[in-house]
Chains A and B, each alone.
Chain A
Amino acid sequence: MDAKIKDLIEQAQDRYLKSDELDLLDGYVKSLPERLTLYKLLRDREIEILQKVADRAEIELSKTDTADIESGIKNLILVMRYCAMGMLLNDENFLKQRLLRWLEQIMALKEMRQINDVLYKLLNQILRQELSTHQLSLIQPLITTAQVTLIY
């Protein structure tokens, strides 16, 4: 749940919510079926999507140690799982606080930048083929946040 809705819940002890505040909640609830559909799609096709990334990454990063690419893929699996949950909850902070702060520090020390650069480029290409425009608009902002945090 995004921060605005969390704030509204905190208001419960003081007052009833105003109509426009309830609209915010209503909007989120109405978007849930789509979010759930996308979540299930990402869950059920996790291996298939990431295998495509891995196959292409091996070609593009032919000079890189396979163990390093594997480590990058593992982190990408994690990022996708947290992105999917963040999308379901409509909460970017879930991804930032629980995962990115941690990965950022590990990656910075390991110099994974070049590998991540390729992996995220490939992931974005593949998701563009696999998801509808609307689905993409739900998950893309989270992936971009991860990409920006881990690469730049």
Chain B
Amino acid sequence: MISVADLLQDNQIPANYYGYDAYIKGDLELGLLESRRGDRLIAVPDTLIQALYEGLEQETGQASRLVLFNCGKWWGKNFYTRFSEEISDYYGKPLAELDMILFLQCLKECWLTHGWGRIEFDPTYQNQGFLMIKTYQSPYSKKLAKPRPSCFMEAGILTSFFSRLTGRDLLAIQISCESMGSDCNRFVIALEDRLAIVDSSIEEGLDYESIMTSLLS
């Protein structure tokens, strides 16, 4: 028999941890914007991201991609820690025990509330060992002098996040980009050696469908 009193034992029923109204707090008198747990948040102007891209390009040339990617990886490592702490505290169980639907929904809401745009998980290639992540309205998608996918920081954050989540060394590479007129930014995630051909395909200017076809063949 179901007992409602038992269901309500600790009185709190978890819902949407990352709901915008509940998640973003602030003590503006102190000059702080904070998450509901008290971690500091800051709003980054779009022009600063643009400036980072241009400044790095000017100073380091082609290496700027790698610098941004590594910044993203560093960020992703910490993001994973924060995300898993927040979620396991709130739902009262470790991230690994959370059901998949809830986990993905939390990640989507987290992404959205932080203003990084929409994120979606595309299971099409899952059985072949490739994860596909799509992002929309990404602040990191910037038109480059030589057109190519430009969400380097996002690729870094996804690399770290999914490597930590799965406990394996994965790599995320972007294969379509809003800055090049695509409907969204697509990132293919897999073990590094399975993605060896992707970099040269991007240099050749192949679209994501062709890249996926060659990865699967």
Interface residues of A, Cβ cutoff 8 Å to B: 46-47, 50-51, 54-55, 57-58, 66, 69-70, 73-75, 77-78, 97-99, 101-103, 105-106, 109-110
A106 to B2 Cα, complex, angstroms? 22
- Tell me how far the C-beta of B124 lies from the nearest C-beta in chain A, rounded to whole angstroms: 17
Select A99's contact among B2, B8, B16, B109, beta carbons within 8 Å.
Answer: B16
- Tell me how far the C-beta of A79 lies from the nearest C-beta in chain B, rounded to whole angstroms: 10
Residue from the set B5, B7, B21, B109 with the largest chain A CB neighbour count within 10 Å: B7
Q: Which residue of B lies closest to A97 (CB)?
A: B21
A115 to B20 Cα, complex, angstroms? 29
Chain B residues, Cβ within 8 Å of A70: 2, 7
Known: A106-B101, A106-B102. A98 touches B16 (CB 8 A): yes
- The 7 closest A-B CB pairs, nearest first, are A102-B16, A54-B2, A51-B4, A50-B4, A109-B101, A47-B4, A78-B13
A49 to B1 Cα, complex, angstroms? 16
Chain B residues, Cβ within 8 Å of A50: 4
Interface residues of B, Cβ cutoff 8 Å to A: 1-5, 7-8, 13, 15-16, 19-22, 101-102, 105, 109
**Can you list 12 A-B contacts with CB-CB less than 8 angstroms, sorted by A residue number?**
A46-B8, A58-B2, A70-B2, A97-B20, A98-B16, A98-B19, A98-B22, A99-B16, A102-B16, A105-B105, A106-B102, A109-B101
Task: Determine whether the beta carbon of B5 is less than 8 Å from that of A51.
Answer: yes
- Tell me how far the C-beta of B92 lies from the nearest C-beta in chain A, rounded to whole angstroms: 13
Task: Determine whether the beta carbon of A73 is less than 8 Å from that of B2.
Answer: yes
Task: Determine whether the beta carbon of A78 is less than 8 Å from that of B4.
Answer: no
- Tell me how far the C-beta of A47 lies from the nearest C-beta in chain B, rounded to whole angstroms: 5
Chain A residues, Cβ within 8 Å of B20: 97
Task: Determine whether the beta carbon of B3 is less than 8 Å from that of A106.
Answer: no
Task: Determine whether the beta carbon of A102 is less than 8 Å from that of B105.
Answer: yes
Q: Which residue of B lies closest to A52 (CB)?
A: B4
A110 to B109 Cα, complex, angstroms? 18
Task: Determine whether the beta carbon of A54 is less than 8 Å from that of B4.
Answer: yes
A105 to B19 Cα, complex, angstroms? 13
A101 to B20 Cα, complex, angstroms? 12
Task: Determine whether the beta carbon of B13 is less than 8 Å from that of A77.
Answer: yes
Known: A54-B2, A98-B22. A78 touches B15 (CB 8 A): yes
Chain A residues, Cβ within 8 Å of B21: 97-98
A51 to B5 Cα, complex, angstroms? 8
Known: A102-B16, A102-B109, A106-B102. A58 touches B7 (CB 8 A): no
- Tell me how far the C-beta of B13 lies from the nearest C-beta in chain A, rounded to whole angstroms: 5
A74 to B8 Cα, complex, angstroms? 8
Select A77's contact among B7, B16, B105, beta carbons within 8 Å.
Answer: B7
A57 to B19 Cα, complex, angstroms? 30
Task: Determine whether the beta carbon of A74 is less than 8 Å from that of B13.
Answer: yes
Task: Determine whether the beta carbon of A73 is less than 8 Å from that of B101.
Answer: no
A1 to B22 Cα, complex, angstroms? 17
A103 to B101 Cα, complex, angstroms? 11
Q: Which residue of B lies closest to A98 (CB)?
A: B19
Chain B residues, Cβ within 8 Å of A58: 1-2
Chain B residues, Cβ within 8 Å of A97: 19-21
Known: A102-B105, A106-B102, A110-B101. A47 touches B5 (CB 8 A): yes
